[in-house]
């Protein structure tokens, strides 16, 4: 089951990049994100009502759901879209792919969880592979104030994403399912984005073209309803650090989509990078060999007579 969820996350989120690009245009970014998560929240609420599983978070869980909505379904998308204004999209993807390491480090700081060496090693290999994949784009970008601003935005988005992962793990620890917390979290993100648009005077617009509507439906249903539910289920099952390794793998899928739709050309360094990413994936999921249990000492026979001390009389 974990392999199926992991494959869904990689394939779906690896193909959402082209849909995001198709949404850029006359509709303001904040509204496009609000349309996406508003529709996704409506679908999730309808599903929960039909299944009679709609639960209103209470107590501390309510605050955590609000924080998750702010981090996962609002701020991180604002950060990444702002980063894309300053630096190349490949560089943004490289920064975002560090989520596996940030998840492990935040889990260490917040929960005191020990970071497994294979997780750090696999994440490092994956990052090295992505650097090779995106090296031409990285080296072509001129360093400067805009680059530093873009890196700051991208790092902020990654930290928001990792914080949302830890919040989801905590909510699942309280017995709430990802599909339940996602519905409320996406609703929170939608309200925040619409409120920002109203206060900032963002002009209301909607694009009725087949490309925009198709991209919106794909981002809302597979990209959000299925993708986030599958991913956060992995967070609960595998832990935030292992689940987030999908963020290292799905840019490879995005590159293959780009090769088909945008003319991306594979190079020798890119192929080496792909091998490193896959090697890191294997390392992260490698299980430690089971330690054989020591054989128990044979029990004394109940019929054997107890030794008698010698007669010294």
| pTM, 2 dp | 0.77
For residue 8, give every residue at least 6 positions away whose Cβ sits within 8 Å of its Cβ, in sequence order, or none.
226, 227, 230
Average pLDDT over residues 78-86: 81
- What is the model's pLDDT at position 295? 47
How many angstroms separate the CA atoms of 200 and 184, rounded? 24
- In terms of residues, how long is the chain? 313
Cα Rg, the chain, nearest whole Å: 24
Better-scored residue on pLDDT, 44 or 148: 44
Residue 208 has pLDDT above 80, yes or no: yes
Average pLDDT over residues 92-109: 76
The 10s digit of each residue's pLDDT in 233-269 is 888 888 776 777 777 777 777 777 777 776 667 778 8
- What is the model's pLDDT at position 210? 92
What are the residue ranges of helices labelled H in 174-305? Answer: 178-200, 210-218, 227-238, 240-243, 246-261, 268-284
Core vs surface per residue 111-128: b (16+ CB within 10 A) or e:
eeeeebebbbebbbbbbb
The 10s digit of each residue's pLDDT in 11-55 is 888 888 788 778 878 889 899 999 999 999 999 999 999 999 898
The 10s digit of each residue's pLDDT in 289-308 is 555 544 454 544 444 444 45
State the helix-helix crossing angle for 246-261 and 99-111, rounded to 10 degrees.
Answer: 160
Q: Where are the domains of the chain?
A: 2-284
> 3-state DSSP call for residue 231?
helix
Average pLDDT over residues 106-134: 76
Better-scored residue on pLDDT, 252 or 191: 191
Answer whether 235's CB lies under 8 Å from 182's CB. no
């Amino acid at each position: 089951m974990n392999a199926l969820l992991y494959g869904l996350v990689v394939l779906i989120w690896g193909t959402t990049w082209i849909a995001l690009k198709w949404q850029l245009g006359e509709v303001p970014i904040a509204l496009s994100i609000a349309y996406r998560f508003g529709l996704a929240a409506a679908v999730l609420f309808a599903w929960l009502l039909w299944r009679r599983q709609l639960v209103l978070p209470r107590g501390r869980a309510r605050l955590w759901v609000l924080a998750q909505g702010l981090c996962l379904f609002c701020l991180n998308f604002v950060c990444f879209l702002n980063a894309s204004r300053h630096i190349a999209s490949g560089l943004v993807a490289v920064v975002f792919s560090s989520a596996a390491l940030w998840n492990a480090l935040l889990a260490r700081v917040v929960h005191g969880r020990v970071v497994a060496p294979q997780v750090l090693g696999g994440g490092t290999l994956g990052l090295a592979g992505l650097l090779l994949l995106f090296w031409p784009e990285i080296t072509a970008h001129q360093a400067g104030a805009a680059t530093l601003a873009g890196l700051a935005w991208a790092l902020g988005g990654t930290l928001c994403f990792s914080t949302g992962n830890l919040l989801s793990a905590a909510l699942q620890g309280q017995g709430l399912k990802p599909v339940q917390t996602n519905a409320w979290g996406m609703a929170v993100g939608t309200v925040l984005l619409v409120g920002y648009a109203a206060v900032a005077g963002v002009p209301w617009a909607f694009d009725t073209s087949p490309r925009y509507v198709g991209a919106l439906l794909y981002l809302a249903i597979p990209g959000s309803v299925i993708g986030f539910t599958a991913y956060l289920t992995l967070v609960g099952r595998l832990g935030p650090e292992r689940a987030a390794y999908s963020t290292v793998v799905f840019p490879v899928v995005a590159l293959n989509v780009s090769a088909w739709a945008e003319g991306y050309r594979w190079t020798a360094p890119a192929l080496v990078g792909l091998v490193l990413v896959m090697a890191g994936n294997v390392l992260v999921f490698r299980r430690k060999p089971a330690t054989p249990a020591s054989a128990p000492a044979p029990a004394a026979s109940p019929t054997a007579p107890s030794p008698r001390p010698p007669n010294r009389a």
